[in-house]
Structure formats: structure tokens, C-alpha cells
Chain A
Amino acid sequence: MAETTRIALDGKPIDLPADASLAAGLIGHRELVCGRSPSGRLRAPLCGMGICHECRATVDGRPGVRTCLEPARGVRTVERETRLPAAEAAWTRSERAVDVLVVGAGPAGLAAAAEAGERGRRVLVVDDNRAAGGQIWRGKTGRAGELEQRCSRAGVEFLARTSLALRLGERHLRLVGPREVLDLRCSAIVLASGATERFLPFPGWELPGVLGLGGLQALIKDGLDVRGRRVVLAGSGPLLLAVAALVQQRGGLVRRVAEQAPNDRVAGFVLGLAAHPSKLAQALALRVRLGSVPFAYSNWPLEARGAGRLETLTLRRPSGTESIDCDLAGIGFGLLPNARPAALLGCRLERGAVAVDPAQETSVEGVFAAGECTGVGGLDKALLEGRSAGAAAAGDRDLARALAGRLARERRFAARLEQAFALRDELRALPRPETIVCRCEDVRWGELASRPDWTDAKLQTRCGMGPCQGRVCAPALEFLRGWAVGDARPPLVPVPCGALVHPPGTGADGA
């Protein structure tokens, strides 16, 4: 039996796996609900990776803590009702300078950090999560360990649970940890902020137990116990298979895997993998491992139902519908570049991704970007871009030139991927007028019908104005309504007011 830790959940003692994230531990304990939304709906985790803010609760007196990013170990109390916080002592605040700051400790970020560190640069890597590895290497083994070893040999420093909050000036940033504020100057920045999941609203999608696809994956890797749980996976993309394999491996019962794309489109994509033998091998291995798991193309979720939690998921099939009883659902409609940090720094975006030059430099001098945030393309693209960006951030643009050929191939793969799993038009008809679109502010689809654009929708309905700042509803509305969305406002993630009270330091150069 794994080590447990005792916490008081609304005053009631429960034991959670000590190594789990708080959210993963609570869901494993069948405590899916984290609070109530403004209109009183039960609020439960969705994204599992710090995006949706649906899992926030008051943790040890700190309100608004994202429990998916919080380790269970060491936590004493979790309260799901909002309570007035007590005053607290001032935050510790420090100022530092490094050569290269890397934002995000996934494959791209670690690769960048290793390359820059090995070129003699002082490198700091920060990540919202409690460990390095990103989504793909969450609860990691193997290659992440290798890269981390290279980083540590090169003297790369890593700060977990630390978020980029503010741009203070040119290559001068405020980073916020659980109780620390760090104002950092650097010569170069590598943004490796990864991807977020695209969620689409459908009736019942806000029921506790309906999780993101990547969300379910992240939570399982963070210690969610799925043994004996009936799970339906739906949405789109290669992640479906990866999550199905993970659920199965951890003792969950995969009742159905539903891919919205049609069989012929995906088959064409798989055939195209011949140009990428390692990816083909991976795909085939996954398929073999899944064995008897029922997999269906041209299927998508229509409605989730249950009394206070998910009990039945109804899928649209090519002919008719089918309802499947389940405990958990993982539903995601592809990945999107997380370009918000780049937007905060003023970098140019193209089609929602950070625009970069051949050495991964953005439109802002000294700011580089690598990995999924420049366009979703998977692990190999992220590693290549990370290496190029890290070297370039250390003044070496030769590596990027050397890797250009391989990277071009990966980008072709990314384009094929996007084409194969393009979302079908029928998904635009998923929400009903009463379906909640903005979960933070409980804005319903019907209220958005008459709104001409994103700005107007925000002003008149508060859509996208809640804690997640539109991270969930904006990509959905981009697809559903064709709206141009975006406009990141500081702070990049909600941070306690106490983290904003210190004026930016003048620093050594007096800037």
C-alpha cells in the first residue's frame, strides 16, 4: 500500500495517497466536487493541468488554489466553500538575474535548458507543475530522466510550482511560487509553454466525472486510482489511444474509445506514417496493447447524464446513438498551442501559435519559443525545437541549422496530423441553448447566440471573464462561432494580491 497522508476535507478526515496531486487524490477518493459555480452548479476538475481552474479550493487557508497542481503531501485542510481568508505575513520577494530563463519543463523546455546549460549559460527552468516532465513525461521515466540528468550536470536550476505572472520590462519578469515572488532578469527567454486541450461544450459536460482527455491522463499520472472504474474516452486525436492504454494499464475498464474523425481520414494518416517509422511503430504498438478495447470512428459525445455526477455518456454513432454507463469520461478535441505567455511578452502569433524564425526566435528579440506552443506536433518536434532554441538562446544558431531538415519533417507530420483529425462540422451543433459554455461564469450557449464577437460577448455576458480567463471557452467559441479570440491580460494566471504588491525593483542596471 502506498504511503498516505491525512487531510481534513471540509473538516472530515480522509486519507489520500501522499504522492498524488490533491485533485487526483480527491477524485480517487470519489470526491469529485471542488465547489460550486456562481449559479450553484457543482464544480469539478476538468483539465487536470492548471488551465480550467475548476478544481480550485481553499487549501490551508489559501483560497483559489488549483488542487491539480498541489501535492497532497503536507496539506492539512481543504475547504470547498469559500471562506474569508485571514491576513498573512508579507510574501518573500527576491530579485535575481540568470542568462537564460526557460518557461515550461516539458520536453522542449528541458531540451532547451540542457543545450543552453551545456554552453556555459546560467539557466533557470520554471514550471507551474510540481515536477519537471511536462504532460507527456508526467510521473515520468526514461528520456525525461536522461534530459534532467544533463540539465543537472550543466547546473540548470529548476523551480517547480512557479508561474510566470507579469512582464515587468524587457526580459524582466515576475515569477510567483506558492509563497515567493521572484523578479528575474535574463538575457534570453525560451518559452516552452506546451499545449492546452480544446474542450467543446455539450449537454452535461460540466457534470463531475467528465474530464478532459489529457486531463484524465494527467490526473492518472498524478496518482488518480482508476482501478475498476468504467471509463469512456471520446474526442479526437492520437491522445485517445495513449490515454486508453494508460487507463487499461492502471486497471481501469475502457468501455469505449470514440474518435470523431472518420475511419478513412485516420487510415490515410496512419498510412502516411510510413515516412515516420518510429511513429508508425508506436501507433501499432499502442493498437496491439489495446487489444479488445472497443474503438469507433465517426463517434462523438452528445450528452452526459447523472445525478450529481456522471453516470451515462451518450455517443452519436454513424447510425443512431448509444448510451454507455460509466464512472469517468475523458473528452478532448485535440491540442492547441499555449501561446499565452508569448502574448504576454508581446510576441507575434500566427493562427494561434507563436511565430518563430529558423532559430526559434520570436518577433521579440531575445525571446525564443519551442515545442507545442509554436504548433502542436508532438514529442520529436518539441525536442528538436527545444534543442535549437536552447542553443540559439546561448548564442549558437548552428545547431538550429543542423536540425532544420529533421524539424521540417516533423512539421510536415504535424500538418498531416491536423488535417487527419480536423473537427467535423456536426460538433458545432453540440451545445443546446441551456448548455453552459463558460464554466467560470456560467454563461449559456443561448446567451451567446446574439453576440456579434468575442469582445462584445465578454462585456455583455461575462463569458471568459472568470478565473480561467477564457482558456476553456475561448478555444471552444473560436471553433463554434469562428470568433477571433485572445488578448491575455496580466497576471498570466490568477495570483494572490499579495504577490502583486511589490513594485518591480530597479535592478543593477537601473532600468
Chain B
Amino acid sequence: MSEALVVGAGIVGAACARALAQAGFAVTVFEAAAVGAGATRAGMGHVVVIDEPAGELALSARSRRLWDELAGELPAEVERAVCGTLWLAAGEEEQAEAERKAGRLAAAGVAAEWLDAAALARLEPGLRSGFRGALRVPGDSVIYAPRAAAWLLERSGARLELGARVRRLVARGVEFGDGSTRRADVVVNAAGLAARELTPGLPLRARKGHLVISERCPGLCAHQLVDLSYVRLAHGDAAESVAFNVQPRPNGQLLIGSSRQFDVEDPAVEPRMLARVVALAVENLPALARVPALRAWTGLRAATPDGQPLIGALPGLDGVYVAAGHEGLGITTALATAELIAAAATGRAAPIDAAPYRPGRFAEAARG
């Protein structure tokens, strides 16, 4: 039986473990901390189709479908809820953007509908008035990602080695902090931002985010509410940005985001950023002002130069694959990422074109 080693037990590592196990590998997962303790725990758990850049559209649409296919098997603790996303349009420009977005989503087979101001107010009476409307993507969902990662791992039957200190990846193997090595046919670097330490040279940057969770307050909103400026900001180069992004957890809590700061690696909650995130949320959902905020935290997204993840074989290191750099979309795209990794490792055909995610693409571009 061929052997595979996966470094990192976040949602991406867990999904890779499952896909490789299904492809017939005996899988071992190494995790330095706890399952889902990195970006997986920090994120919102929004399973959302993102339509730009083109590669993200294909990957997120495919992955959302895979999550939908798994829905019947997911245990209740994963707290999956198909709440849909409302992309809010504040002005004319955003409305035009919503129309373009609807077109791109439709081309990828993703349903979306435009809601005018009155329809939006009926669906989300807690929102401030003044929005021109919203693009509703009814098939988007939310999950509780740490539990989903644990479930994927359990299902994979992979062996989990907690507390494992992997120092770097070598050809067909990993090297531990104590200098010892383990060999296998396939090695996957799914260590999130730490992937750059295990494989020096990976073009990953930290993009810090702040999130807040509220006390249970069911009924304040029913959909994941995202300002249409989100995509522009998420994929822009601004050193720092904040967008309105609020998620109703199935248990009635509200998850309040979101912010992006490039190259800030100190995990401390910054009161200034916290204030910006909460202020925008309260402005758009005024009743939130009275809802107790339980806890704020930060997470470090692993960002790549073109905003698309690194998925596939690592050039120059035999048997080593990368599944990292998912920035804020790791939870959505974990399953499709894993599918691509398994396809690459077995030489089988991939369900979507893997070319946009080649880990070597930046070096190729540099060589011209």
C-alpha cells in the first residue's frame, strides 16, 4: 500500500487526508497543536462561491458542490446550515457589480437572484434602510469548521500524530525537529501559513483578520450578510481594509467580521481594528449595538500574490505536494483542493483545471 504524509490538521489537511485515503493511500497526519487550531478555528466557516479571480470561481463552485454532497453525512455538531449569502449593494455602482456577479455565477452553474430594496427589507428587516438591494446566493452555507476538520479526519481513517514537530519537507519525506525523518510516496504541505517554513520559498504572506462573536440573539439576521465591497477589498492590495460581513450561526450567535491586514503577524486583537469591524456591523445592523459581544480574536490567513491558492506538485522536490495559500477561502475550498491533490498524487484526471493553482506558477512567470 502506498503511503502518504500530510502536514497540518486544519480543514485543508483533513480534507487531503480523506481524499488520499479514498485514493488508496495509508495516510498519516502530523499536527503541531490541535486539530483545526490555526486558520480553521479563526475563520467564519462560510462556504461561499467567490467569482473572482476565475480560478477561485471554479474551485469554490466545485467545492461548494462537494460540501453539498457530503451534507447528509455530516454530523449535527458540524452545524451546517444553508443560510445563503446576501451580497449587499449600497449604491448604483454596487448594483451594477451585483449584476455582473450574477452573470459570472450563472456561467458556473451557481444560482443567484437580485432582490430589490423592498424584497431585501422583507428578508432582513434588521438591516439599515438605504440599500438598493442585494444579490442572493441561496446555496451558500455555513459550517463549524474545527468540528468539520475533525470529522473529515475521523472519516479518513488516517493516523493522527499530535504534537509532531515537522521542520521541513524533503523529497518523499518529512524531517522532524530532532533531525529524524519519515519517508512516504506522497507528502502534502497543508500547514497553512506555516507552509512557508516547511517549504522555504513558497510565496505566502500573512493577512491578519479580526472577528467577533456575539451572545445568542436569534432572529437578528437570517443570511450571511456581506457588503459587495468585500470582494474588491479582499482581492485588493490595500495594506488594511474592513468590510461588513456578518454571519448568523445556527445557534443564534452572530459572527462579526471582517478585516484584512497584510503582513501583520502579531496575533493580538487590535482595539482599533476591532472598533472598525464592529462599527461597520452596527451601522448596517443597528440592533447589534445592544447585543453582547462575547469574544474577539484574530487569525492569520495565508495569502498568495495572485489571491489563488497553491495546489499541486512542488517543482524540484519529488513526491512533495502543496495545499496552502487559501487565504480566507480554505474552508470553502478544502474539499476541491483535496480532490486536486489526490488526482495529482495518483495521476488521475482532475474534475477541474488545476493549472491556475500550480505552486510553481510565480517562478515560471519570473523566468518569463
Binding site for B on A (CB under 8 A): 38, 61-64, 82, 84-88, 90-91, 166-169, 174, 452-453, 455-456, 459-460, 465-467, 469, 489-491, 494-504
List chain A residues, Cβ under 8 A from B278.
Answer: 497, 500-501
- How far apart are the CA atoms of A453 and B261 in the complex, in Å? 31
Q: Indicate if B251 sits at the interface (CB-CB under 8 A).
A: yes
- How far apart are the CA atoms of A61 and B217 in the complex, in Å? 13
List chain A residues, Cβ under 8 A from B252.
Answer: 82
Number of interface residues of B (CB under 8 A): 45
B19-27, B102-110, B199-207, B281-289 - interface stretch: B281-289
| CB-CB nearest in chain B for A441 | B251
In contact, A63 and B290 (Cβ under 8 angstroms)? yes
Shortest distance between the CB of A4 and any CB in chain B (Å) = 28
Q: Which B residues from 271 to 307 make CB contacts under 8 A with A?
A: 271-272, 274-276, 278-279, 281-282, 286-297
In contact, B34 and A494 (Cβ under 8 angstroms)? no
B35-43, B320-328, B330-338 - interface stretch: B35-43
In contact, A502 and B162 (Cβ under 8 angstroms)? no
- How far apart are the CA atoms of A502 and B296 in the complex, in Å? 15
Q: Indicate if B237 sits at the interface (CB-CB under 8 A).
A: no
In contact, A38 and B251 (Cβ under 8 angstroms)? yes
List chain A residues, Cβ under 8 A from B33.
Answer: 455
List chain B residues, Cβ under 8 A from A460.
Answer: 35, 77, 146-147, 150
Shortest distance between the CB of B355 and any CB in chain A (Å) = 35
Shortest distance between the CB of A414 and any CB in chain B (Å) = 32
| CB-CB nearest in chain B for A488 | B295
| CB-CB nearest in chain B for A85 | B290
- How far apart are the CA atoms of A119 and B162 in the complex, in Å? 55
List chain B residues, Cβ under 8 A from A90.
Answer: 289
| CB-CB nearest in chain B for A172 | B271
- How far apart are the CA atoms of A169 and B289 in the complex, in Å? 24
List chain A residues, Cβ under 8 A from B272.
Answer: 503-504
- How far apart are the CA atoms of A229 and B146 in the complex, in Å? 47
In contact, B289 and A497 (Cβ under 8 angstroms)? yes
Q: Indicate if B219 sits at the interface (CB-CB under 8 A).
A: yes
Binding site for A on B (CB under 8 A): 33-37, 41, 77, 126, 146-147, 150, 162, 212, 214-220, 251-252, 256, 269, 271-272, 274-276, 278-279, 281-282, 286-297
Contacts A82-B217, A489-B295 given; indicate if A503 touches B35 (C-beta within 8 A): no
Q: Of A62, A459, A466, which contacts B35 at CB under 8 A?
A: A459
In contact, B274 and A494 (Cβ under 8 angstroms)? no
In contact, B219 and A84 (Cβ under 8 angstroms)? yes
List chain B residues, Cβ under 8 A from A87.
Answer: 286-287, 289-290
| CB-CB nearest in chain B for A459 | B146
List chain B residues, Cβ under 8 A from A489.
Answer: 269, 295-297
In contact, A38 and B220 (Cβ under 8 angstroms)? no
- How far apart are the CA atoms of A503 and B242 in the complex, in Å? 14
Shortest distance between the CB of A176 and any CB in chain B (Å) = 11
List chain A residues, Cβ under 8 A from B218.
Answer: 82
Q: Of B281, B286, B292, which contacts A496 at CB under 8 A?
A: B292
Q: Of B36, B212, B271, which contacts A497 at CB under 8 A?
A: B212
Can you list 8 A-B pairs with a CB-CB distance of less than 8 A?
A: A63-B292, A85-B287, A460-B146, A489-B295, A496-B291, A497-B278, A497-B293, A500-B278
| CB-CB nearest in chain B for A468 | B294
Shortest distance between the CB of B170 and any CB in chain A (Å) = 29
Most buried by A among B271, B282, B288: B271
List chain B residues, Cβ under 8 A from A169.
Answer: 271
List chain B residues, Cβ under 8 A from A82.
Answer: 216-218, 252
Shortest distance between the CB of B145 and any CB in chain A (Å) = 9
List chain A residues, Cβ under 8 A from B41.
Answer: 459
List chain B residues, Cβ under 8 A from A503.
Answer: 271-272, 275-276, 279
Q: Using A63-B290, A85-B289 as known contacts, list a sample of 11 further A-B pairs with CB atoms less than 8 Å apart, ordered by residue number in A.
A: A63-B217, A168-B271, A453-B34, A455-B33, A469-B295, A489-B295, A491-B293, A496-B290, A496-B293, A500-B274, A503-B272
List chain A residues, Cβ under 8 A from B212.
Answer: 497, 500
In contact, B282 and A38 (Cβ under 8 angstroms)? no
Most buried by B among A63, A453, A459, A504: A459
In contact, A469 and B294 (Cβ under 8 angstroms)? yes
- How far apart are the CA atoms of A82 and B292 in the complex, in Å? 12
